[in-house]
Chains A and B, each alone.
Chain A
Amino acid sequence: MRPGSLSAACAALLRRDLLLAWRRRGDIALPVLYALIVATLFPFALGPDPALLASVASGVVLVTVLLSMLLAFDALFRPDLEDGSLEQLMLAPQPLALMLGMKILAHWLSTALPLIIIAPVLASMLHLPGHANAVLVLALLVATPLLSLLGSVLVALTAGTRRSGMLLALMLLPLCVPVVIFAAGAVSAAQLSLPWIAPIAWLGAALALLLVLAPLACAAALRIAIDA
């Protein structure tokens, strides 16, 4: 990898963001703890009946993961915006979309991956049958990058504004409805031993499309929001 080449720039940015996330390791634990607590609240609210919990398990796990990711989105751009490195990135000769793609990847690795790892734990607390766990992890592996990519575009739009947390939720959640429908649908189907591959395939297709389009949209959104 020649220094100064595009791949070197991508690797450097990825390494920087992962290193910064590692230095704030405690922050990685927060979405995980939040997800655990929220998932624990549901049995308290609904009662401990295993049949009832099993019927809502797939939906609860998915919504819990979505809300945890929503909380973590602020950390995508705000630290870099505050110390000026985001503007430096926007001025850099490398294509902004690709650089933002690396940032989104680093963010997904540090926030979504821990959630995917504990998702089976959440699911078993809610009595999801064991054989559905594999599909759950697969569904999350496809759905969480989709959420990261969609969310990054909207976080970019709210980058400079105050009170962006609630506003981001209002903007993002309606757009996530298809992702929630397909991912939870796949897990529910697996739970009932019905074919589950179709919704996963749809999610995969959407992911392929957004992998290309979302960083471009994110770059455009960032230019609108930050270019004063």
Chain B
Amino acid sequence: MKWIPHWMHELSSPPTFYRFATVMRPWFLVLALVTTAIGLYGGLVMAPADYQQGDVFRIIYIHVPSAEMSLFVYGVMAVAGFIAVVWRIKLAESVAMQSAPVGAAFTFITLVTGSIWGEPTWGTWWTWDARLTSELVLLFLYLGVIGLFHAFEDRRQGARAASFLVLVGVINLPIVHYSVQWWNTLHQGTTVRLFGPSRIEADMLWPLLVMMLATKFYWAASLCGRVRTDLLSLESGKHWVRDLAQKEGH
């Protein structure tokens, strides 16, 4: 395949990616921590309290970035899964399968923080509106992918089967979202207004954007750690892994 740039081709080789991930992981974590510190200082200290919700709106600075990451990671998983199913590239299989726990973590955080935020603002821990219900279904999808992957004895076959499930889910998730929206109008449920002011003030907004960047750096750090460990395990018979084990002397 000549249209792939050389560095991408190089990077998809397991030992090269292992070295890359080992170097980059601490840097991504540092970037994540620094941007988190900036974002949370802006969000928790500098931003004024919301005129309707008071200080509890500050949950937004972890809830919205987590929600965005839960979908972003699913997208990455879908792309990597597609490459894994079609071209069977080891790195793609590893990225797809190792993204699932990270995505599930962000989805879980979204649901729990959203629930905690909902209790004082809407008066309930849970409501069946389209966004929450779709997020719950997304969590089930992540768990299904993880479960299917671990059900296979051959890891590479399991990765391809679970990637196929990811692709089926990609098509289904928007359908679930819109059908739940329709279902809510049908049952004329409680009309929940998710955020008081429709336009968010600038000094409330920039910490949110910084936190969205912070979670991306974190995701990169987490993925580097997970994928490089997965490659070690996948390639454990190969020379480069054995040489590494010798050097580390565990």
**A153 on the interface (CB 8 Å rule)?**
yes
**A81 on the interface (CB 8 Å rule)?**
no
- From A167, A178, A227, B176 is in contact (CB under 8 Å) with A178
List A contacts of B186 (CB < 8 A).
185, 189
- In the bound complex, what is the Cα–Cα distance between A87 and B217 (angstroms)? 46
**B180 on the interface (CB 8 Å rule)?**
yes
Query: Which residues A154-191 have CB closer than 8 A to chain B?
Result: 154, 157-158, 160-164, 167, 170-171, 173-175, 177-178, 181-182, 185, 189
Least CB distance from A55 to B in Å reads 12
A175 and B172 contact, CB distance less than 8 A: yes
**A224 on the interface (CB 8 Å rule)?**
yes
Number of interface residues of A (CB under 8 A): 28
A228 and B85 contact, CB distance less than 8 A: no
A170 and B147 contact, CB distance less than 8 A: yes
B151 and A178 contact, CB distance less than 8 A: no
- In the bound complex, what is the Cα–Cα distance between A185 and B85 (angstroms)? 37
- In the bound complex, what is the Cα–Cα distance between A157 and B159 (angstroms)? 11
Query: Which residues B125-148 have CB closer than 8 A to chain A?
Result: 133, 137, 140-141, 143-144, 147-148
**B154 on the interface (CB 8 Å rule)?**
yes
Binding site secondary structure of chain A: helix
Knowing A221-B164, A224-B164, the reply to whether A174 touches B151 (Cβ < 8 A) is no
**B240 on the interface (CB 8 Å rule)?**
no
Query: Which residues B72-126 have CB closer than 8 A to chain A?
Result: 85
Number of interface residues of B (CB under 8 A): 27
Least CB distance from A83 to B in Å reads 21
Residue of B nearest to A178 (CB): B179
A154 and B165 contact, CB distance less than 8 A: yes
**B205 on the interface (CB 8 Å rule)?**
no
**A211 on the interface (CB 8 Å rule)?**
no
Knowing A170-B143, A175-B168, A185-B186, the reply to whether A161 touches B151 (Cβ < 8 A) is yes
B164 and A174 contact, CB distance less than 8 A: no
**A225 on the interface (CB 8 Å rule)?**
yes
List B contacts of A171 (CB < 8 A).
144, 147-148, 165
Residue of A nearest to B169 (CB): A175
B182 and A224 contact, CB distance less than 8 A: no
**B152 on the interface (CB 8 Å rule)?**
yes
Query: Which residues B24-50 have CB closer than 8 A to chain A?
Result: none
List A contacts of B176 (CB < 8 A).
174-175, 177-178
Residue of B nearest to A189 (CB): B186
Identify the interface centre among B137, B175, B179: most chain A CB within 10 Å of its CB.
B179
**B71 on the interface (CB 8 Å rule)?**
no
A170 and B144 contact, CB distance less than 8 A: yes
- In the bound complex, what is the Cα–Cα distance between A22 and B154 (angstroms)? 36
**A217 on the interface (CB 8 Å rule)?**
yes
- From A161, A173, A182, A189, B152 is in contact (CB under 8 Å) with A161
**B16 on the interface (CB 8 Å rule)?**
no
A228 and B151 contact, CB distance less than 8 A: no
**A21 on the interface (CB 8 Å rule)?**
no
Q: What 4 pairs across the A-B complex have the smallest Cβ distances?
A: A178-B179, A161-B151, A171-B144, A174-B140
Q: Which residues of A are interface residues toward B (Cβ below 8 A)?
A: 153-154, 157-158, 160-164, 167, 170-171, 173-175, 177-178, 181-182, 185, 189, 217, 220-221, 224-225, 227-228
Q: Which residues of B are interface residues toward A (Cβ below 8 A)?
A: 85, 133, 137, 140-141, 143-144, 147-148, 151-152, 154, 157, 160-161, 164-165, 168-169, 172, 175-176, 179-180, 182-183, 186
